[in-house]
Amino acid sequence: MSVQTVDVLYTAIATAEGGRDGRVATDDGKLDVVVNPPKELGGSGAGTNPEQLFAAGFSACFQSALGVVARQRKADITGSRVTAKVGIGKAGAGFGLEVELVVSIPGADEATVRELTEAAHEVCPYSNATRGNIKVGLSVA
């Protein structure tokens, strides 16, 4: 697999201090959060964690990709929702992630939701970044 080249239109910049038990903030100050490991991983669970931040980014990006595909196909996705479930666990000598994307489009039949979801998975930048690297499941709610 070759490395994808991108004509960069925007660059997000975030800096972490203290790793999983510290703080992460963007250079523009719009995001500034305390991060702590979840209780399930032995942490306090007091702050957010990298998996929640990844889930938030992936679900928002995938929702936008769904909108792009829907406009191209003149499909109505009013009230649609994308939920990203990001799991972390042991993988070989280290740790790995897996993602489940759950898509809901009220008023659309299951076949249409699946078709739009699969098409969005082809254009979403997060999907393209993770393809072939981690397990990403697609589900219809």
Considering just the CA atoms, what is the radius of gyration of the chain in Å?
Answer: 17
CA 2 to chain centre: 22
For the chain, the average pLDDT equals: 96
Distance CA 56, CA 47 (A): 15
Distance CA 9, CA 91 (A): 34
CATH class of 50-140: alpha beta
Asked, colleague to colleague, whether 1-48 and 50-140 share their fold, the answer is: no
Distance CA 81, CA 60 (A): 9
For 37-81, the pLDDT digits (tens) are 999 999 999 999 999 999 999 999 999 999 999 999 999 999 999
Fold that domain 1-48 belongs to in CATH: N-terminal domain of TfIIb (2.20.25)
Every domain of the chain and the residues it spans = 1-48, 50-140
Tell me the HSE value of 45 on the side-chain side, using a 13 A CA sphere.
5
For 77-130, the pLDDT digits (tens) are 999 999 999 999 999 999 999 999 999 999 999 999 999 999 999 999 999 999
